[in-house]
Structure 1
Amino acid sequence: MNFHAIRAIYKFEMARTWRTLLQSIIAPVISTSLYFVVFGAAIGSRIAQVDGVSYGAFIVPGLVMLSLLTQSISNASFGIYFPKFTGTIYELLSAPVSYREIVISYVGAAASKSILLGLIILATAGLFVPLHIEHPLWMILFLLLTAITFSLFGFIIGIWADNFEKLQLVPLLIITPLTFLGGSFYSIKMLPPVWHTISLFNPVVYLISGFRWSFYGTADVNITISLAMTVMFLAVFLAIVAWIFKTGYRLKS
């Protein structure tokens, strides 16, 4: 394992965060604060509690997960797309660096940035509502698994995309709607039976449910199922990345 190469790529990607601090950190934190003002004040005044948790506190895991998913995909997709766009990807592929080291570097940096942002948003949420994390180790586990899994997904999108518009296509048209419909701001138990069943086909439901359980011990889906689904997503994305480097899909042309 070429740890020097991993460290070099990782440090380069992390340095980009500080160069784009306004876009990478400050903007998502401001957006989250606005969610608390709008949803916490406007809707929270009409919904006292959900599953025994105050509405303002109930939406915290959903907001963190919303930012975590979108930022993981965005960071990883742009990180690998930019070398493709500039042509430096060929220098990387011809260097004595294996595809595993490339994936570890880019995905590790994207996941690190997303986790950092998630923790900042969590701290920001503590300024608005009293937070209680019932299972901190499970919270950290879901945070890590989700960040790594969707950074891998973003890496795949970055390889697939051949223009900047496609980089935003999946996050804006698929991930964000699925997150909003996945119980970020409500419990799917509140839905009519038909819509409750349909919601269970939304993969984001399992991520948000497991993450919320780590906070309050309450969930829409059994914690074991949530964890199993998260690990399954991770395995699928790992298999796709391995196939991409084995076949050279959109890398050698």
Structure 2
Amino acid sequence: MPKAGKITFLASDSEAAKDALAKLSAIYGSVPLDKAEVIVALGGDGFMLHTLHATQAMDVPVYGMNCGTIGFLMNEYGEEGLRERLESAEEEVINPLSMRATRADGTVHEALAINEVSLLRAGPQAAKLRITIDGKMRMEELVCDGALVCTPAGSTAYNYSAHGPILPIGAEVLALTAMAAFRPRRWRGALLPMTAKVRFDVLDPQKRPVMADADGRSARDVVTVEVQSEPSVRHRILFDPGHGLEERLTREQFV
């Protein structure tokens, strides 16, 4: 990380984050966002994802400080020595997933996801999905509560809760994971190359409606969803030395 320059502090709506914003801005100053050389996001993982999405066109590194709950993407909160921490921080570069979801009425919903793109049943009956990888049909019918494609950075989030694998941050792979698969019974998914283009077709969408979600950006009543890595977009995330994503991903497996 180059010498810490002009800092912009951004905070979530929580009282702890707003209190931290006031204290840190008073100590270090805070420039307008368009002048930032580094962004310090105050909140939890949800706010970090929001900040990364909102500033992705700026190519400015983001350093998170945990004022939330889990804080997997965040550093420990502290008011002392922030400039020194920024100067010694390690940078991780993450490429998001792109989602292109076509709804039953023909409209198309596009969004980017840093963690995962997920399909979820939107009614009382299980979803029925057909899965195609790089133009080749790989599973004719998956009956499940849902399925997701995740990045290595997102592999400890929803994916891990659905019993998907934790992926090393440098791995050039994506995880395709099923939620509560009924048929094939207990099918948990597959590992795919980072370049894979995944297509989900919703079977019987009127009787078994499905919604698609990319980091909280949702589309209902989808009939097809296409997912792939988007190398043209990069998110720069800063971590304190020895506490980067690779260390966190490894540590998570030995809890």
- TM-score by structure 2 length? 0.23
Relative contact order (alpha carbons < 8 A, sep ≥ 6): 1 or 2 greater? 1
Greater strand proportion: 2
Higher helix share goes to which structure? 1
